[in-house]
Structure 1
Amino acid sequence: MRKGLPLLLALLLTSTAHGLRAESLGRAELAGLTRTVAEIGARLQSVDTRKDDARELLTGRLAMIDRTEAAPRPALHRLTTVGKLQTVPIDFMLAQLRLQTARQFDTEIEKALVNRAAPALFIRGGAMTLDQLAAEAEKLFPGAVERRGETILSRWPIVIWSDSALVIEPQQSLELSTADGAFLLNSGLLTVDGGELKASAGENSGLNSFRPFVATAMTGALQASGARFSRLGYAGAGSTSGLSILGAALFPSKITSHVVDSSFQNVSGLSLENTHRMLVAGNRFSGGTGPAIAMKGVTGADISDNIITGTTETQAIDIQNTSSSIRVTGNILLGNRGSGVFVANDARDVSITGNLMSRNGRGGVSVVRSACVTISDNIMLSNSQVGIKVRASHALTLSHNDLIANAGAGISIIDQDDNARVAIDGNAFSANKSGIHGGAASEVALKANDFAGQSPILLDGEFAPYVPELLETAASADAKPKALTIHANTSSTAPVDCKTGS
């Protein structure tokens, strides 16, 4: 049974359950779906594209990717008072960066500051537009900035203090000088309303790996709508990752951050840590080392309708370190180096629904040491490893997913604790290396799954001996589909607190 199964027996596994959405594919249907997903990828190559540009292709089984309700776009917060531009010693600014970003601070950053005698531009006491900042800097601090048409090049670092704001308006562009070691530290409010924020081309002679970045910390908030970000960030996640929002329990921000309808081109990533009520929706991420969106200790986040392609080192979306109440829905994740979505290290209450994940280097979704994760109505097509991988996690529901032509198993469940429980309900398996792989697994409940397109291996690893029982439940004449429970355990019925994961 482990090495093969006659097609006739496999056909017995086609579910007849009422209301089941997922259905396995024939060879011609698989080829057609593969072509459609490739066309979606081609249409979305440009950094200016959005999900709407591929909407007409989201039909048939792809329609689930378009069924998500768009998150309402929040208004941009505005400060009414007018700020002032001053300077602050660079040593003070670096001390603040160390204090506000803690272990996320790159201690080598001082090497990137070509002119250590130059101060940082310091906004305080209210709001300034980019034009106002440039006009004041040109008047008071010659050499700090340079006008290049609609672009303002800053050679000095910029600090937005906790009582102030910087507004980059439509058609305005702030460029941070790579050669001079410029970056932006925001403890107030940074608003990018249809404008642009980028790093200049070239290299830094003091620190070759350096690229300018924007760090929002402590009481700070970042609000971006219709913005463009490019070439920002280096050295992985954290304060130097490109755009970061790093909260602190003792100094919570009074203003909610959000990033909507914006583009990220060759930005290392958007890093969120210890923040609350985040909205990241309708954005386009292309290139960059990744993760494109990284979350650690985040409570309450809506990650929806984004397009993420071509991360060069890691996964597209990374959810870790006790993050909770996270919604990942309607995203298109194509050709990223790692997993489409990676959930790990005590994350909980995570919902991953209605996403398209294809050609990702380490599979569609990976869940490691986490609890209360729902993965439903997704399409995982032609990923380089598994469709869904579960390891050492509890209280998971995997339902109505299409798991198609993945190089590994459609679903893999390994290294589970004795009391762990996974429900696999209403999924369709087609042309994966194997259907479901098990290794050191605890309770797995199978119900109403469609294996008709999965040949020759239905169950693999320690689950292989259960193939006859799977066939028996599939061939049942009962009106309601029967469930097959593998490795049932008595503690699996105990309720799980999804807010704490216990």
Structure 2
Amino acid sequence: MRKGLSLLLTLLMTSTAPGLRAESISHADVAGLTRTVSEIRGQLRDPASRKDDVRALLSGRLAEVRQDGAEPPLALDRLATAGKLHTVPIDFMLAQLRLQTARHFNVEIEKALANRAAPALFIRGGSMTLDQLLAEAANSHPGALQQKGEKVVSHWPIVIWSDSALVIAPGQSLELSTEDGAFILNSGLLTVDGGELAASDGTNPALNAFRPFVATAMTGAVQARRAHFKNLGFGDSGATSGLSVLGAALFPSKIASYLTDSSFENMSGISLENTHRVVVSNNHFSGGTGPAIALKGVTGAQIRDNVITGTTEAQAIDVQNTSSSIDVTGNILIGNRGSGIFVANDARDIAITGNLLSGNGRGGVSVVRSACVTIADNIVLSNSQVGIKLRASHALTLSRNDLVANAGAGVSIIDQDENARVVVDGNVFSGNKSGIHGGAASEVALTANDFGGQSPILLDGEFAPYVPHLLRAAAGPDSDSRALTIHANTPSADPVDCKTGS
């Protein structure tokens, strides 16, 4: 019966309303998309590559991912005064790390320090370049820093105080010693302008899992453009995750953090927590455990035009813990271990638009216990599990997405509250295990979706009995505008206010 209904639907839904993106995808189209994504993935194997390197391939259905409207370049902040180099006892520095990063501090870090008697380098009172830091340390603290070819190797931890800055200029490279347990605690401004910041090769003898990291906390900010970050971070998201920006409500940073046009190679990830006004754009993340970009309690972030490939343990982009006003746009997320994009735990006002998600191990997009999420104009192709999964969330809109050849359902809607609402409008379903799967769902409104290439299962789970209703809606004289509403809420059900959260 289901096969017969699918064939009938193909005949009835040969076209969609003018102006809608929904347009059937043939087997040849799927094969072409698959070949193009494979070519994109091949060209992105170089960690130094960017989205611009594959822009010519983003045509046809992939044009939504191109996002040609370039944003003006962001200007780097500078401090006018010159900084001074001091030292602080390592115990003081560790106490500050505990205080400023709270529960995110990994107590095992103390084991990694090769010499607990050695102090930490302490920059304060203004700005200092890497060359100045090297010269000052050579005069007063021999052994703290070492010139090694074109690199400056730090054997001691470095503290950038709240009134100071460290600048790594074009062509410069700062390497943090893994064997010595070096890392950076930044409460001021860390600028990497065309330079490199990396962890050294080798293993820490006392803590094998240790890798150097950069923790920016409290009033601190980090700004990077055309930079290269490599091998930083260990553990989950938090202070040690590689590159972190951990804000504090009582000490908000007056300088915005941003990371643009840079490469992140074999990094645990970027962790942004309790901060705001963050921009992460046009970067390439390759390898690393992931999440490549993790947001918790973040307000007003733009995550756009990034390439993320090959996370080994977690999702590519992770948005959680009351994060709000987050724009995830124009990213290419291919071959990551977890979901391409994961939104959870009271995240709100999230826009996921114009992304390419393919070959991700736990599906394309997952939204769990969140509200006011728009998922539009994305290509969700050949992911393991579900294309877009919605669970225990409300005020959701799915529009003009291509859901193609995913191993699970194109869309799955489960465990909804009784007054939750989901709009599924103008999407294309083709070659998924099933079109839309429902389980313990509330109101779902289907309008002008194209199921022409979706065979044999159109609606699955508790939605399966609605296939005849879907066919009748598609065959009606106003099929382009008629909505099939499944499990309609009562008229008295109040809509969600996405601004106040009520």
Q: Distance in 2 between matches of 1:16 and 1:22?
A: 7
Q: Secondary structure in 1 aligned to 2:62?
A: helix
Q: Determine the structure 2 residue equivalent to 1:213.
A: 213
Q: Determine the structure 1 residue equivalent to 2:47.
A: 47
Number of residue equivalences: 502
Deviation of 1:152 after TM superposition, in Å, equals: 0.4
Amino acid at match of 2:22: A
Q: Distance in 2 between matches of 1:318 and 1:397?
A: 19
Q: Distance in 2 between matches of 1:424 and 1:6?
A: 19
Equivalent residues of 2:6, 2:458 under 8 A apart? no
Deviation of 1:102 after TM superposition, in Å, equals: 0.2
Equivalent residues of 2:3, 2:455 under 8 A apart? no
Q: Determine the structure 2 residue equivalent to 1:155.
A: 155
Q: Distance in 2 between matches of 1:228 and 1:492?
A: 55
CA distance 1:379–1:313, change in 2 (3 Å)? same
Equivalent residues of 1:127, 1:167 under 8 A apart? yes
Equivalent residues of 2:178, 2:202 under 8 A apart? yes
Q: Deviations over 1:352-377 (max 9, x none)?
A: 00000000001110000000000000
Q: Determine the structure 2 residue equivalent to 1:466.
A: 466
Q: Determine the structure 1 residue equivalent to 2:134.
A: 134
Q: Deviations over 1:11-53 (max 9, x none)?
A: 3234421211132211111111100110011011111111111
Deviation of 1:501 after TM superposition, in Å, equals: 2.7
Q: Distance in 2 between matches of 1:488 and 1:219?
A: 48
Q: Distance in 1 between matches of 2:397 and 2:492?
A: 13
Please state if 1:373 is matched with 2:373.
Answer: yes
Amino acid at match of 1:237: S
Q: Determine the structure 1 residue equivalent to 2:403.
A: 403
1:19-98 alignment runs, 5 A limit: 19-67=19-67, 69-98=69-98
Q: Determine the structure 2 residue equivalent to 1:498.
A: 498
Q: Distance in 2 between matches of 1:76 and 1:492?
A: 52
Q: Deviations over 1:226-251 (max 9, x none)?
A: 11000000001000000000000000
**Range with bigger deviation, 256-265 or 22-31:** 22-31
Equivalent residues of 2:448, 2:479 under 8 A apart? no
CA distance 1:492–1:20, change in 2 (3 Å)? farther
Unaligned runs of 5+ in 2: none
Q: Distance in 1 between matches of 2:247 and 2:70?
A: 26
**Range with bigger deviation, 141-150 or 486-495:** 486-495
Equivalent residues of 1:445, 1:484 under 8 A apart? yes
Q: Determine the structure 1 residue equivalent to 2:123.
A: 123
Deviation of 1:2 after TM superposition, in Å, equals: 5.1
Equivalent residues of 1:87, 1:119 under 8 A apart? yes
Deviation of 1:343 after TM superposition, in Å, equals: 0.2
Q: Determine the structure 2 residue equivalent to 1:437.
A: 437
Deviation of 1:477 after TM superposition, in Å, equals: 1.6
CA distance 1:123–1:214, change in 2 (3 Å)? same
Equivalent residues of 2:6, 2:454 under 8 A apart? no
1:173-184 alignment runs, 5 A limit: 173-184=173-184
Q: Distance in 1 between matches of 2:11 and 2:302?
A: 39
Q: Distance in 1 between matches of 2:6 and 2:272?
A: 50
Amino acid at match of 1:209: A
Q: Determine the structure 2 residue equivalent to 1:293.
A: 293
1:234-253 alignment runs, 5 A limit: 234-253=234-253
Q: Secondary structure in 2 aligned to 1:490?
A: coil
CA distance 1:14–1:414, change in 2 (3 Å)? farther
Equivalent residues of 2:127, 2:167 under 8 A apart? yes
Amino acid at match of 2:361: G
TM-score of the superposition, structure 1-length normalised? Answer: 0.98
CA distance 1:170–1:247, change in 2 (3 Å)? same
1:244-323 alignment runs, 5 A limit: 244-323=244-323
Q: Distance in 2 between matches of 1:234 and 1:22?
A: 43
Deviation of 1:479 after TM superposition, in Å, equals: 6.8
Q: Deviations over 1:283-305 (max 9, x none)?
A: 00000000000000000001000
Equivalent residues of 2:447, 2:480 under 8 A apart? no
Equivalent residues of 1:178, 1:212 under 8 A apart? yes
1:331-480 alignment runs, 5 A limit: 331-478=331-478, 480=480
Q: Distance in 2 between matches of 1:491 and 1:362?
A: 36
Q: Deviations over 1:303-354 (max 9, x none)?
A: 0000000000000000000000000000000000000000000000000000
Amino acid at match of 2:60: G
Deviation of 1:114 after TM superposition, in Å, equals: 1.0
Q: Deviations over 1:426-469 (max 9, x none)?
A: 00000000000000000000000000000000000000000000
Equivalent residues of 2:419, 2:493 under 8 A apart? no
CA distance 1:449–1:479, change in 2 (3 Å)? closer
Amino acid at match of 2:348: R
Q: Distance in 1 between matches of 2:123 and 2:202?
A: 27
Q: Distance in 2 between matches of 1:453 and 1:419?
A: 32
Q: Secondary structure in 1 aligned to 2:101?
A: helix
Q: Secondary structure in 1 aligned to 2:108?
A: helix
Equivalent residues of 2:160, 2:166 under 8 A apart? yes
Amino acid at match of 1:392: A
Q: Determine the structure 2 residue equivalent to 1:195.
A: 195
Equivalent residues of 1:420, 1:492 under 8 A apart? no
Unaligned runs of 5+ in 1: none
Equivalent residues of 1:68, 1:329 under 8 A apart? no
Equivalent residues of 1:17, 1:480 under 8 A apart? yes
Equivalent residues of 2:340, 2:365 under 8 A apart? yes
Q: Distance in 1 between matches of 2:311 and 2:486?
A: 37
RMSD: 1.2
Q: Determine the structure 1 residue equivalent to 2:146.
A: 146
Deviation of 1:490 after TM superposition, in Å, equals: 1.6
Equivalent residues of 1:359, 1:384 under 8 A apart? yes
TM-score of the superposition, structure 2-length normalised? Answer: 0.98
Identity %: 75
Deviation of 1:480 after TM superposition, in Å, equals: 4.2
Q: Distance in 1 between matches of 2:408 and 2:343?
A: 19
Q: Deviations over 1:246-304 (max 9, x none)?
A: 00000001111100000000010000000111100000000000000000000000100
Amino acid at match of 2:211: R
Q: Distance in 1 between matches of 2:6 and 2:169?
A: 64
